Structure 1
Amino acid sequence: MTSLEERRETRRRQMLDAGIALLGDPEAGALGVRAVCRTTGITERYFYEAFGTRDGFAHAVYADVLSRAQDALVRGVREAAEGIPQGAAPDALAVAQGAVSGLVEFVVDPP
C-alpha cells in the first residue's frame, strides 16, 4: 500500500510528464490546467494541491526539463571523463564532446 506522500508524488510526476508532452505537441495548444487534468485523468483539486497555480505548474515543468537536461549533460561529461586514464590531465575537447553528446542525446531521445 502506498503512502499519501507517495500518491502525491506519483500524481505530481504524472502531471509534469503530461506538461512536458503538451509542450512538445504543436497540436496541444496552451499549457492549461484542464488539458493537463484531461490528459492525466487527475482532478483539478490535485493539480492545485501540487502546484498552487498555473504559473507554479509552468515553472515546475520548466525546472523539471532543466534538471533532466543538466543530468544528461553531467552524465555525458562523466562518461567522457571515465575514458581519461587516472592521474592524466583531462582532455578539454573530450569533456566538451561528452557534454554536447549528453545534451544531444537528451534532445533526440528524452527520458
Structure 2
Amino acid sequence: MAVQSGVYRGVSAAQRAAARRTRLLAAGLAVWADQDTRTTMTAVCAEAGLSERYFYESFSGLDALLEAVMNEIAAEIEETSRRAAEQAGTDPEARVRASIHAFVRLLLDDPRKGRVAIVESVAVPKLRRRRTELLRHLAHQSAVEARERLGSSGRSENEDETAGLLFIGGMAELVTAWLDGTHKASADEIVDAASRALLGLYR
C-alpha cells in the first residue's frame, strides 16, 4: 500500500509509516513470544493498536513480519556481541568472554528475543530456512573472529568453519534448554561454559 504524502503536526508521512512499522515489529515480538496467544495478524494488529490496512503498508503478510522480527534480533545480537568484543581490547580470551556475556545479557534483559529467534521459529515452516541462514552466518562470524584473533595454528579455513558451526549449533541447543527451563544454570555458568567451548574448538 502506498504511503500518503504530506506533513501532519510536523511529522512526515514517511516518518509516520516508519513509526507504525516499529510498533508492528514490537507487537510481533510480544505476540510471537506469548505461548498463550496464537500468532496471527489480528493479534499483532490488536497488540499494536493498528488496523490491517496499516499492517499491509509495511508487510506482505504475517511470515514477512515474523522474518523481519528475526532479522532485527539477529542484527542486535551480532552488533551487541561485536561491540562488547571491541571494548574488551585485544586479548582473545577477554574478547570471547565479553562477546558471549553480552549475548547472554541480551537474553536476560529480554528473554522473548531468544525464544522467538531460536525456539519458536522452528515451528514456522517458512522461517526454518531463515533461522538456519542466520545461525550459519553467526557461525561464519565466529570462525572469522577466531582466525583473526587466535591465528590458524595449522587449521584450514574449512576446519574453522566446522568449529564455528559446532559452537553456534551447541549454543542454540543450550539456549533452548535454558529458556524452556529444562537446563538449570546461572548466566555466569553459561558464559563460562560457552567461553571454554569456543576457545577449545580453536586451540
- TM bucket (normalised to shorter chain) is 0.7 to 0.9
Partner of 2:14: 5
Q: Is there any run of 5+ residues in structure 1 with no aligned partner, and where?
A: 82-89
Counterpart Cα distance in 1 of 2:17 and 2:82: 29
Work out whether 1:78 is the aligned partner of 2:97. no
1:17 Cα shift?
A: 0.7
Counterpart Cα distance in 2 of 1:55 and 1:23: 11
RMSD of Structure 2 on Structure 1 (CA): 1.5
Counterpart Cα distance in 2 of 1:50 and 1:104: 31
Counterpart Cα distance in 2 of 1:7 and 1:102: 32
Partner of 1:97: 97
Q: Is the 8 A contact 1:18 1:36 kept in 2?
A: yes
Partner of 2:34: 25
4+ long deviations beyond 6 Å: none
Work out whether 1:56 is the aligned partner of 2:61. no
- Under a length normalisation based on structure 2, what TM-score does the superposition of the two structures give? 0.48
Q: 1:14 aligns with which of 14, 18, 23?
A: 23
Counterpart Cα distance in 2 of 1:96 and 1:76: 9
Share of identical aligned residues, percent? Answer: 28
Work out whether 1:41 is the aligned partner of 2:49. yes
Q: Is the 8 A contact 1:76 1:102 kept in 2?
A: yes
1:79 Cα shift?
A: 2.1
Total equivalences in the alignment: 102
Letter in 1 for 2:33: G
1:13-64 C-alpha deviation (Å, 9 max, x unpaired): 011011111222221222x110110011111011011011122111111111
Match of 2:11, SS state, is coil
Partner of 1:106: 106
Q: Which has the larger radius of gyration?
A: 2
